[in-house]
Structure 1
Amino acid sequence: VITCRAAIAWTANAPLSIEEVEVDPPKPGEVRIKIVSSGLCGTDKHILEGKDKVPLPAILGHEGTGIVESIGEGVTTVQPGDKVLIFLLPECGECRFCLHPKGNMCVKENILSPTGLMLDGTSRFTCRGRKIYLYGTSTFTEYTVVHEIAVGKIDAAAPLDKVCIMSCAVPTGFGVVFNTARVTPGSTCVIFGLGGIGSAVVMGCKASGASRIIGVDIIEDKFPWARALGVTDCLNPQNLKRPVQEVVVEMTGGGADFAFEAVGLTDTMVAAFESCHVSYGVCVIIGVAPSAAKLSFDPLMLLPGRTLKGATLGEYKTRSCIPKLVTDYMQRKFNTDSLITHQFPFEKINKAFELFRSEHCHAYVYVPA
């Protein structure tokens, strides 16, 4: 058992509490990892705000990199000392979803209906004598335990404080462009939400050769940043006299070829869908809506040919594909460093969330001492 620090969410609508926790050794098929760096994601923020319901108290966080400390019986793909990415979405490599050429929602996922427990129904964390739940990979701690099927070995030279966002934000943003929507050269794209994931979508659209990229956000401080990444037009719905989707349809002569929703609100999901071209527009939902939210729109919107799609982690098979993104990053085929706007020591994680909630910044990385 290792004793270390972790940031615990005891309840929603309260700061994280830095506590001393006990981390059990890995069981068969599991890996214990020393966390080096972790990003903050909108999903974590929604849980802390009580919008997404998960078992509490819990250790949150799922954009993590670290070094393997020990392995359980039967683990063969990593060994102590390996640098690794940790994935919220596992890849068992055996279920019908993993074996399908496109599927990535492994049957062993714990995202859609989170239990807060490992596959055997237990937790590896204890604090003050109480069991602490997990959330996915629980990276807001100095040590975590995850299943081997949620770990990917990466280049030994990779900077862990830079590539941690490749556990979620980067593959999510790139994947919806390249795998889900399949953006074409010369097309028009609209992105709702210009945070970390929305910015990764912008980078993907530009790399795909989109000729016009429209960014939609209510925080205009993001607009200069978005234009530097490739956005050609910026819209603030609060400054418009008509619904933003009507403005997008008018300025594009019928609607965007591709629309992406990276906010996580049903209103913006409908707006993104209605921004699509009537005949061949494709809308991809990325944001996670609050628990119990229902999406409602006129079904006649679909009949003329629009397509509404969803994707998790950009449809990437995590262990098979995402470590290759790190290799491409190391070979300078793309550069996502600008998506990380701040870095904080572990004990300042609540300060990081304060800035995150202000919506003026994109991504944050903490580095445990």
Structure 2
Amino acid sequence: MTREAKAVVCRDWNQPIQVETIQVSPPKRNEIMIKLAACGVCHSDLSAATGKIQFPPPLVLGHEGAGKVVAVGEGVTAFKEGDAVISSFISMCGKCRQCVRGRPVLCENAAKALITLPDGTVRTHDSQGNALNVFGACGVMAEYATLHVDNAVKIDQNVPLQNAALVGCAVMTGVGAVFNTARVEPGSRTAIFGVGGVGLNAIQGCHTAGAEMIVAVDTNPEKLEMARQFGATHTVNASEEADAAKAVKKLTGGVDYAFECVGSGAVVAQAYKSLARGGTAVVVGVADPADKTSIGTFSLPADERTIKGSWLGSARPQYDFPRILALYQAGKLKLDELVTRTYSIDDAPQAFLDMEKGINARGVIMFD
């Protein structure tokens, strides 16, 4: 049946987000409806609300959610009512060249489900019956959401859902950049530029991978202190350094892996500059489409340096989400500590303001 739900909606770019009551239609074939328990407040949601990520409004925000299945559509066999799930904004057809070679984050057909479900339609409408787009085929900053089965991952019922939700983006993006994209080796020297929600997870990924040195770089002293709690061995306050890359090199002699978690062409250049010979810079942050990065071309062959991108930690959601949660359950990854404040959905505007101020490691909207 159709469910009435409070949801966080972007009505227009660069306008305040709104909490509205919407209608969520029941699942069709190969779809499930979930009752959300928690949704992380991510910078990507803010980027969608400002137009930096150009998903056309009106748009139901939210892509980092967890909840319980309350209805299943025709043909669904992998899920049943009561299952705990995490949303995944990666839509994968399973048939294109990228999917069959194990790179679902690069699915050649994923563009069909950026603001709708994979069939090109939505299950969300406002109080006047007008269709509402959904962020990344999810739109889970709402009390209920209907998703395609490929955009949901079943998880262990024993994992607290406010922690599990973060695996859908921040944790997967940071930890996955270390495990999957860079494949950091034990004894490596690493640097993380930008230690917000994603950067903190890159830090703990490096720690879990056995890195010898983990240098956190940021302009916020409070974030740098938090970085130490997640495994950073050294910190560099970029606001106090004329050249943060030189400061990193002074500490380490040059790092084997540098992770840019800001979304800035200038910071990408700093990360690249901090590398030792043979080092790899991994670009994790989402920059403005017009932003550029300038590096010394000669250093690419002469020093055999590499620069590469990482989208959602090069994830294979059905495999990687449970794997990350298993590490959490074994005490090898911190998730409880990432949730620094929870909000009701009515307080979502405040959660976005706090995110812009950099107050939280991760703010999470909790649903009744």
TM-score by length of 1: 0.93
Question: 1:341–1:363: 8 Å Cα contact kept in structure 2?
Answer: yes
- CA–CA distance in 2 between the matches of 1:285 and 1:134? 26
1:103 to 1:38, Cα distance in 2 relative to 1, 3 A: closer
* Aligned residue in 2 for 1:344: 343
**What amino acid sits opposite 2:56 in the alignment?**
P
**Deviation (angstroms), 1:125:** 1.1
Structure 2, unaligned stretches of length 5 or more? none
Q: CA deviation at 1:333?
A: 4.1
Equivalent AA in structure 1 for residue 16 of structure 2 = P
CA distance in 2, matches of 1:76, 1:105: 26
Instruction: Note the aligned Cα RMSD (angstroms).
Output: 1.8
Aligned AA for 1:125?
T
% identical equivalent positions = 34
Q: Find the counterpart in structure 2 of residue 49 from structure 1.
A: 50
Count of residues paired in the alignment: 364
Which segment is superposed worse, 287-296 or 199-208? 287-296
How far apart, in 2, do the equivalents of 1:43 and 1:246 lie? 30
CA distance in 1, matches of 2:212, 2:364: 32
Q: Any idea what the Cα deviations from partners look like across 1:194-225, whole Å, max 9, x if unmatched? A: 11110011111112221211111111121221
Deviation beyond 6 Å, 4+ runs, structure 1: none
Gaps of 5+ in 1: none
* 1:223 and 2:209 matched: no
Aligned 8 A contact 1:270 1:297 in 2: yes
- Describe the shift of the 1:169–1:131 C-alpha distance in structure 2 as closer, same or farther (beyond 3 A): same
Residues 171, 149 of structure 1: alpha-carbon distance in 2 compared, 3 angstrom cutoff = same
Q: Structure 2 CA distance, aligned partners of 1:186 and 1:325?
A: 21
SS of alignment partner, residue 281 of structure 1: strand
The farther-off stretch of 3-12 and 121-130 is 121-130
Deviation at 1:311, TM superposition (A): 1.4
The letter for the 1-side match of 2:75 is G
2:63–2:88 Cα contact (<8 Å) kept: yes
1:355 Cα deviation after fit: 1.1
Offset of residue 247 of structure 1: 2.6
In 2 relative to 1, CA 21–101 (structure 1 residues): closer, same or farther, beyond 3 Å?
A: closer
Match of 1:288 in 2: 286
Structure 2 length as normaliser, TM-score? 0.93
Quick one: which amino acid aligns to residue 310 of structure 1?
G
Whether 1:247 and 2:247 are equivalent positions in the alignment is yes
Helix, strand or coil: the match of 2:118? coil
Match of residue 303 from structure 1: 301
State the match for 1:134 in structure 2: 134
- AA aligned to 1:63 is E
The answer to whether the 8 Å contact 1:261/1:269 transfers is: yes
Q: Which has the higher mean CA deviation after the structures are superposed, 38-47 or 257-266?
A: 38-47
Cα deviation 1:49-78 (Å, max 9, x = unaligned): 332211111011111001112122111211
2:169 aligned partner, one-letter code: C
The 2-side partners of 1:118 and 1:103 are apart by 16
Deviation at 1:321, TM superposition (A): 2.6
- Identify if the C-alpha distance between structure 1 residues 158 and 230 changes in structure 2 by more than 3 Å, giving closer, same or farther: closer
* 1:84 counterpart letter in structure 2: V
Q: Distance in 1 between matches of 2:326 and 2:239?
A: 41
Contact 2:272 2:295 in 1 (8 A): no
C-alpha distance in 1, partners of 2:7/2:248?
Answer: 45
Q: Which residue of the partner structure matches residue 267 of structure 1?
A: 266
8 Å contact kept, 2:66–2:86: yes
CA–CA distance in structure 2, aligned partners of residues 89 and 77 of structure 1: 18
Counterpart of 2:71 in structure 1 is: 70
Aligned to 1:280, what secondary structure does the other structure show?
strand
| Larger deviation, residues 340-349 vs 180-189 | 180-189
Matches within 5 A, 1:296-335: 296-304=294-302, 305-335=304-334
CA contact (8 A) 2:264 2:287 kept: yes
